[in-house]
Amino acid sequence: MTAKAQRVLSELEGVCLGIIRAHQPCTAYRVRQELRQAPSSHWRASAGSVYPLLERLEGEGLLVARAAAADGRGKQLLSISRTGDASLRRWILAGTDMDLISSVSDPVRSRTFFLDALTAAQRARYIDALIERTEEYLAVTNSRLEKAKNSRNRFDYLGSMGAVKVTEARLDWLRTVRAELARKSA
Amino acid sequence: MTAKAQRVLSELEGVCLGIIRAHQPCTAYRVRQELRQAPSSHWRASAGSVYPLLERLEGEGLLVARAAAADGRGKQLLSISRTGDASLRRWILAGTDMDLISSVSDPVRSRTFFLDALTAAQRARYIDALIERTEEYLAVTNSRLEKAKNSRNRFDYLGSMGAVKVTEARLDWLRTVRAELARKSA
DNA sequence: CGATGCATGTAAGCTGTTACATGATTGC
DNA sequence: GCAATCATGTAACAGCTTACATGCATCG
């Protein structure tokens, strides 16, 4: 009823709320762990961001905290409130804007546009290194997909599948680039 | 020889240097335009970021500026220096770290993991909207690919191809998600 | 001669980071 | 009893954004 808390959450706020919803009741520490093992390493999940953020969400009533019984560390168990649930839904549904969909920043692709700054030999070594690392990353996302198969939340599986499919496409593209460069220099 | 300017450039710095290298001599204004029409809308290319950034790069000797003849607006034409070229190469070659490759943040995929917070009807509408927007975005990237075919820089084409391939994979994945949801709810 | 686009810049603020700091718990 | 991990927090800073501000150039 209050006009408060009707703001749209930031990316990190939405993700944190979602993590808590899926694992409640859990500690802020746990949220950081989940963030770090997410398919994207975009979030460093630093203490300096996560703790103040969760405190803020609690202050706004989106989270409720209770002290864990008999924990000298002052462990706080967080759960999502009814208001928090509504905020999470709004955050998800607000995610269909064009500029959000096209906002994916890809450092690898960015660099591709400027590859003529390198010598042919440098380029070849660079692409080879990229392909190797991407293969490693694909293996990581694939093993996460395997694990997600047994998740009680089927959206873990569908989300992980997205990471795999996109990584496969990236790998495919990098191999095409390599082939193209080899063709031209031969 | 100096230890200065041996730092690794930030993402935006690298991209700006690359843009200037490809279009030199050009104005800061032009750099902002190029950033905005890039396949990823990640960079807002705000004046508050671009102008100070380019000033900094000029101060470090990576860029050289000269005033455009007879321009009352104080138009500055920027070019990349030899040092700048070396910095750009270092920036590209430093881009093979695992955490850079896995740092791609995808707001759409993030939300997927939390879709059980929605009702089945909300989910269906949400996914439909996403697919529609992604189709639009694919059309945009495809038309950019067409344009890049005639670019004198073949890496424009290869980079645009990456955007198209990854977007196609995303679209494919979203359609799978939609089909999967329809199957389960039926 | 007025609107739109070109061109440059500043100030305040948001969001996240690194680095530091503290202390309890658990397992060997 | 010591190391690793769990658990929470703060201070300084980095990087980019929005919003504001200015003024010339070009075209109809």
- Prior bond to A25 cis, omega within 30? yes
Does B124 score more than 90 pLDDT?
A: yes
Q: What is the 3-state secondary structure (H, E, C) of A16-71?
A: HHHHHHHHCCECHHHHHHHHHCCCCCCCCCCHHHHHHHHHHHHHCCCEEEEECCCC
Contact A19, A36 (CB under 8 A): no
Instruction: Read off the pLDDT of residues B26-73 as tens digits, 9 standing for 90 and up.
Output: 999 999 999 998 888 899 999 999 999 999 999 999 999 998 777 767
pLDDT at B73: 72
> A21-43: per-residue pLDDT in tens?
999 999 999 999 999 988 888 99
Q: Are B88 and A114 in contact (CB under 8 A)?
A: yes
Chain B positions in Cβ-Cβ contact with residue A114 (cut-off 8 Å) = 14, 18, 21-22, 88, 92, 155
Task: Name which of A40, A41, A113 to mutate to probe chain B: the one with the most chain B Cβ atoms within 10 A of its Cβ.
Answer: A113
A vs B: CB pairs below 8 A: 229
State how far Cα B140 lies from the chain centre. Answer: 14
Q: Which residues of B touch A12 (CB under 8 A)?
A: none
Q: pLDDT tens for residues A51-108?
A: 999 999 999 999 999 987 777 777 899 999 999 999 999 999 999 999 899 999 899 9
Letter for the amino acid at A50?
A: V
Nearest CA in chain B to A106: B104
Predicted local distance difference test score (pLDDT) of residue B186: 64
Q: Using the beta-carbon criterion (under 8 Å), do A117 and B18 form an inter-chain contact?
A: yes
Q: Which nucleotide is nearest to A46 if distance is taken from CA to C1'? A: C17
pLDDT of amino acid A186: 64
CB B181 within 8 A of CB B120: yes
Residue A18 has pLDDT above 80, yes or no: yes
- CA A98 to chain B, closest CA, distance in angstroms equals 6
